[in-house]
């Protein structure tokens, strides 16, 4: 298990942003060459100030069979790292040693040609992803089944709906069997059902003992799939290791001034947290129309007056959607000592369909006693909720019951009448 799959040493990539921005023509080049003696140019040929390190000093070993989530904000260097590991671009410094065949999926349907039919694109895309022709032909039926495009297989893909297009692309990619799989944020496309299907497939791959590198902004997905995580921030590897802690560090850093800012003290602790339905049965994938009960078990070893237990609900990107604690409902928390069960019920038709995390906090007037973020992750499904009766999708994280009225404007109607 300790065999190394990818050894990264001091990896760095510098971009010359000047060269990327301007439209580089021979004339510019000649003009620049003519003025070169007058300017002190960097060895690269462009001013040193016009360079940016997209990634620097990244050193890490990834073991075989590890499923690594690569997380970080925009511009953190995640894609640059994947591009170098996939050999799409060369590093500026450092070295990578890769043991095994790499398959990378940086985009769904790479190389699809709009004028070619689904059948033709499967063959083409398979070849682009490094599969043998015989292999693709053997798996052809599986691909068509998985993509659910059956009747349209001989239609040019330019006539496909965008959903069909990504399903077909993913179906081909899902057949890759490399020792190391590199996946960029490809789940951002497609509807919830498709995303779930993709995650299921990735899960199978991961369970199959393959090494997977997975970039995502969907922290719930990262936590569900990955065994460890790398957190990048402005081109640096700032944290690596246990997936929960790393995701927590990322979300904590994102939610600036949140729980993470405070230090925790004492030995009071949150023991466990689970979701259940109103009847006390474990709840796996709640639906919008269901009340979601979060049960938190905590222990107070000493008397702790003014204790409060609270939760923060975070969206899949780490945004804090809302927080609530027992005092909101006028409930007082026993001051201990002892073990307690706290239950907080999120009313039905509150959380919209999507992925959420729950952060937990236990504190009293003197200090934060325990903090776990994120302690839980779950997906809410649209289910049979009335909220989705008219619109298939809704923006935002929560639904709030708002009063509405629409009536004719009195002056306006009067004006029409005269």
Partner 1 sequence: MTAQPSALAVTYIRPGARSMSFTLREVWQARELLYFLVWRDVKVRYKQTVLGIGWSVLQPFLTMVVFTVFFGRLAKVPSDGVPYPVFSLAALVPWTYFAAAATNGATSLVGNQHLVAKVYFPRVLVPLAAVLMPVVDLAMAFGMLILLMAWYHVVPPPAAVALPLYAVLGALTAFAVTLWTSALSVRYRDARYVLPFLMQIWLFVTPVAYPASMVPERWRLIYALNPMATVVEGFRSSLLGTPGPGAMAVIAVATVAVTLSAGIAYFRSVEGTIVDLA
- Binding residues (CB under 8 A) for partner 1: these are 1, 3, 15-16, 19-20, 23-27, 29, 64-65, 83-102, 104, 106-107, 110-111, 113, 115-116, 120, 123-124, 127-130, 132-133, 179, 209
Which of 97, 328 has the CB closer to partner 1? 97
Which parts of 222-291 are beta strand (E)?
228-233, 236-242, 269-276
Which of 108, 225 has the CB closer to partner 1? 108
C-beta of 160: minimal distance to partner 1 in Å? Answer: 16
Which of 25, 162 has the CB closer to partner 1? 25
Contacts 24+ apart (CB under 8 A), 388-395: 388/288, 388/353, 394/352, 394/353
C-beta of 16: minimal distance to partner 1 in Å? Answer: 8
C-beta separation of 210 from 182 below 8 A: no
C-beta of 344: minimal distance to partner 1 in Å? Answer: 43
Which of 67, 220 has the CB closer to partner 1? 67
C-beta of 13: minimal distance to partner 1 in Å? Answer: 9
C-beta of 208: minimal distance to partner 1 in Å? Answer: 12
Give the C-alpha distances (Å, rounded to integers) separating 292 from 35, 161, 287, 378. Answer: 68, 35, 9, 11
Query: Look-up: residue for tokens 């997905």?
Result: 221
Q: List the one residue out of 196, 214, 190 whose CA is nearest residue 103.
A: 214
C-beta of 381: minimal distance to partner 1 in Å? Answer: 32
Beta-ladder partners of 297: 272, 341
Edge-to-edge order in the sheet of strand 320-325: 320-325, 308-315, 354-363, 368-380
Beta-ladder partners of 357: 314, 377
Which of 50, 128 has the CB closer to partner 1? 128
C-alpha atoms less than 13 angstroms from C-alpha of 298 in its C-beta half-sphere? 29
Which of 94, 383 has the CB closer to partner 1? 94
Cβ atoms within 10 A of the Cβ of 416, count?
A: 9
C-beta of 232: minimal distance to partner 1 in Å? Answer: 18
């Amino acid at each position: 298990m300790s065999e190394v799959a990818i050894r990264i040493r001091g990896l760095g990539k510098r971009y010359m942003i000047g060269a990327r921005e301007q439209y580089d023509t021979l004339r510019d080049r000649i003009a620049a060459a003519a003025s070169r003696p007058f300017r002190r140019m960097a060895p690269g040929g462009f001013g040193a100030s016009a360079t940016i390190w997209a990634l620097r000093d990244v050193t890490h070993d990834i073991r075989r069979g590890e499923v690594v989530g690569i997380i970080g904000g925009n511009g953190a260097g995640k894609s640059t790292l994947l591009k170098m590991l996939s050999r799409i671009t060369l590093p500026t410094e450092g070295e990578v040693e890769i043991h095994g065949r790499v398959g990378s999926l940086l985009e769904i349907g790479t190389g699809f040609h709009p004028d070619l039919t689904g059948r033709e694109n499967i063959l083409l895309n398979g070849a682009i992803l490094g599969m043998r022709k015989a292999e693709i032909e053997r798996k052809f039926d599986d691909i068509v089944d998985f993509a659910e495009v059956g009747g349209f297989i001989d239609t040019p893909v330019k006539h496909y709906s965008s959903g069909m297009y990504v399903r077909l692309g993913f179906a081909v990619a899902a057949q890759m069997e490399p020792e190391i799989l590199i996946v960029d944020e490809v789940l951002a496309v497609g509807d919830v059902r498709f995303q779930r299907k993709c995650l299921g497939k990735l899960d199978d791959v991961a369970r199959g003992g393959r090494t997977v590198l997975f970039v995502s902004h969907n922290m719930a997905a990262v936590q569900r799939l990955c065994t460890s995580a790398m957190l990048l921030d402005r081109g640096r590897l700032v944290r690596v290791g246990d997936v929960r802690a790393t995701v927590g560090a990322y979300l904590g850093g994102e939610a600036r001034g949140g729980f993470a800012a405070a230090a925790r003290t004492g030995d009071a602790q949150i023991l466990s947290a689970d979701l259940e339905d109103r009847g006390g049965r474990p709840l796996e994938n709640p639906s919008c129309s269901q009340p979601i009960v979060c049960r938190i078990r905590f222990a107070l070893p000493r008397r702790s007056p003014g204790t409060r237990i609270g939760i923060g609900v975070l969206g899949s990107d780490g945004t804090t959607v809302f927080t609530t604690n027992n005092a909101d409902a006028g409930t007082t928390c026993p001051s201990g000592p002892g073990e307690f069960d706290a239950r907080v019920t999120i009313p039905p038709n509150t959380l919209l369909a999507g992925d959420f995390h729950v952060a937990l906090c236990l504190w009293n007037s003197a200090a934060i006693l325990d903090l776990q973020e994120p302690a839980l992750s779950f997906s809410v499904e649209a289910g049979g909720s009335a909220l989705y009766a008219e619109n298939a999708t809704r923006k935002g994280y929560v639904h709030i019951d708002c009063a509405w009225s629409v009536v004719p404007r009195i002056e306006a109607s009067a004006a029409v009448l005269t």
